[in-house]
Amino acid sequence: MYQVISGRPLSEQNQLELTLGATTRRDALPRVPAPAAAGPSAFHAFAEIGEVIAATAGKLEKVRILSEYLRSLDREQLPIATRYLTGKAFAQSDPRTLQVGWAVIFRALLAATKIDDSELHRIASSHGDAGKTALEALEGRTVAQPFTLVQSKQLFDELQRARGPIAKTELLQARLAQLSAREGQYVIKILTGDLRIGLREGLVEEAIASTFAAPLDDVKEANMLLGDLGQAALLASTGALHEAELSLFRPIKCMLASPEPTADAIWQRFAEAAANAQVIYVEDKFDGIRAQLHRGAGRVEIFSRDLRRMTDQFPELAQRAEGFDAELILDGEIMAFEEGRKLTFFDLQKRLGRKSEGDDLFATASADVPVAFVAFDLLLLNGRSLLKTPLRERRELLRGVRLPEQFHLSKIFPAHSAEEIEEAFRLARGRWNEGLMVKDPASFYSPGRRGMFWFKLKKELATLDVVVVGAELGHGKRNHVLSDYTFAVRDDASDELLPIGKAYTGLTDVEIAELTEHFKQNTLVNHGRYREVKPDTVLEVAFDSVQPSTRHASGLALRFPRIKAIRRDKTVAGIDTLAYARKLAEPRRDTSAPRGRSS
């Protein structure tokens, strides 16, 4: 007899949320409000513009509306509103965090509206979205006062400086009580870091370029160098985009690699880009976290790939980095590393700790796991930006930098054919790495961009046939469907179903709608947003690796699980076993890691 293991929804690494575009016809769009940016209703005008953007399907129309709005703002308001349009209170390069979680927001809404606790819980459960919850809760329950963009910035600054949830709740409650429901909704949207109005940063960049007749590439480059779209907009407004430059302690976005499924596909890409391509660089794709290290005179900072400061998370690396004999910016990977061998990402997770309400992901270490920094690129050296320097020259300069203890240089190897790329991939997986990075030696460093210069080759380790034992409502535009699935394998010894992971990527909207109806009709226990369901739906799930873990009842955890297919041809009797999953978790014999200097 199969037994469903009950519990809270499982977490998953790097899950994506699909945002669906609006489908409203242009002739049915609401009238664009007069921005009134200079008046007391400036924040309300911003919120109304957000609603118009959300109801607009066409990209060009979105850009036109944004351009009209940005043109109405003065120099003080422009950078504030532009940052808000990315869903953030602060610039990406700004290390400050608000640390205002749902518990603070919930208590502030209760105090501002005098609404009943159970009623607010009902509203929140019906939406699954903090902004929509605020809109309904605040409607008709506040006395709106004038609220400018500058005042909104002051609010976020004060919330950031406030210490402790009580102080933050009091500040937020006092302001919400004086806002209209729409304004409150957008304050909460910014606090949670996501406007959810179908607006990408790229569209805001296009609007800035259109508004100030500036080259789009110049706007993008300024944004990447500054890590501050608001400041980029301000420079564009005065024709000064050329003043943006790379500097220490102002992190930039990482250059990205385009995924390809095979070595042949990657070699063909290089052949198309450069007919005379004779050699390309390959290096292992490491199973750690991307990091950017800035070392200046008397100061070291480490930033995550999303530009958050995480120096305090790795104090030993920061201390060792003081041993560099140059001012520099390194791009690399932080890995769990002990006694000359690299450990797994799951070991590194113990070091990262857990994200809790209002906490930075990198706030507190939960285990003493040794780490190393593996450098694979050099972006700045002694005041000289290397972004427009070819990779082969950056690597040569990096080879000349003396590396302190706990720092390594990634090995790169030349490849001359698809066959050599495939062999390098096989060896990388044999070293228990994620896959392979393939780079053009002539490539410049393009922050935040994917292009035809860097590629990554990752092949699925295997797939598992699993059964869904839990279904949860999604978020944003999926908050009304059961789109997040907790799944299990079967234990041969006990015949129990043991959860091993959770995924919500890979299925179409039609498939999710079908599964939603099925799970609603086959719910065993309803916990509100999460339901234990009858174990009769089999999924084929792909992943990059499987490792021992105490987080799940199976004792295992999947790295980057994603749904490949609904296996309607299989029943729960045919799913994979815990023994098979454990076999996939067995370490491979070659655990060599980067060491010394290699080019």
347-357 pLDDT per residue, tens: 787 777 544 33
Q: What is the mean pLDDT of residues 42-52?
A: 96
Q: What confidence tens digit (pLDDT) does each residue in 388-428 have?
A: 999 999 999 999 999 999 999 999 999 999 999 999 998 98
Nearest to 530 by CA among 216, 152, 168, 128: 128
Burial class, 17, CB count within 10 angstroms (exposed 0-12 / middle 13-18 / buried 19+): middle
Q: Look up tokens 């819980």; give the residue.
A: 121
Q: Which of 417, 339, 413 is nearest to 372 (CA)?
A: 339
Beta strands in 201-321 (DSSP E): 258-260, 280-285, 289-296, 299-304
Per-residue pLDDT at 367:
54
Q: Is the pLDDT of residue 362 over 80?
A: no
Give dist(CA 351, CA 346) in Å, integer.
9
**Nearest by Cα to 571 from 494, 497, 472, 512:** 497
Q: Report the pLDDT averaged over residues 87-106.
A: 91
For domain 258-457, is the CATH number 3.40.50.10380? no
285 annotated active-site: yes
Fold designation for 102-192: DNA ligase i, domain 1 (1.10.3260)
Sorted by where each begins, the domain ranges of the chain are 102-192, 258-457, 462-584
Between residues 366 and 500, the one the model is more confident about: 500
142-183: pLDDT as tens digits: 999 999 999 999 999 999 999 999 999 999 999 999 999 999
Segment 54-84, tens digit of pLDDT: 999 899 999 999 999 999 999 999 999 999 9
Burial of 33 (0-12, 13-18, 19+ CB in 10 A): middle
SS percent in the chain: helix, strand, coil, step 5:
35, 20, 45
Using only C-alpha atoms, what is the Rg of the chain? 25
Which tokens is 200 given?
């990408």
Calculate the dihedral angle through the C-alpha atoms of 388, 389, 390, 392, rounding to the nearest 10 degrees.
-150
**Dihedral angle at the C-alpha atoms of 25, 31, 32, 33, nearest 10 degrees?**
-160
In this prediction, residue 587 has a pLDDT band, given cuts at 50, 70 and 90, of low
Mean pLDDT, the chain, integer: 85
Share of the chain above pLDDT 70, in %: 87
The residues facing 486 across adjacent strands are: 470, 502
Query: CA-CA distance, 369 to 339, in Å (whole number)?
Result: 12
DSSP helix/strand/coil, 223:
helix
Q: Which CATH architecture has domain 462-584?
A: Beta Barrel (2.40)
Task: Report the Cα 279 to chain-centroid distance in Å.
Answer: 33
The pLDDT of residue 228: 93
CA 86 to CA 89: how far, in whole Å?
9
For β-strands 328-338 and 371-381, DSSP reports them as antiparallel
Q: Is the pLDDT of residue 265 over 80?
A: yes
Angle ∠(518,497,475) on CA atoms, nearest 5: 45
Q: Indicate if the pLDDT at residue 17 is higher than 80.
A: no
pLDDT in tens, 373-382: 999 999 999 9
Percentage of the chain modeled with pLDDT above 90: 59
With tokens 């030349």, the residue in question is: 414
What are the tens digits of pLDDT across the range 212-224?
999 999 999 999 8
Coil, strand or helix at 494: coil
pLDDT at 20: 30
Asked whether residue 460 carries a pLDDT value surpassing 90, the answer given is no
Judge if 258-457 and 462-584 fold alike in CATH terms. no
CA dihedral of 484, 490, 495, 499, whole degrees rounded to 10: -40
pLDDT class of 10 with cuts at 50, 70, 90: very low
Concatenated DSSP letters of 90-110: S-TT--------HHHHHHHHH
Angle between helices 42-54 and 149-161 (to 10 degrees): 90
Q: Which of 88, 220, 253, 285 is catalytic?
A: 285
3-class SS of residue 323: coil
pLDDT at 592 over 50: no
Segment 287-292 mean pLDDT: 90
Phi and psi at residue 290, to the nearest 5°: -65, 140
Number of residues that make up the chain: 599
For every residue of 456-467, DSSP letters joined together read EE---SEEEEEE
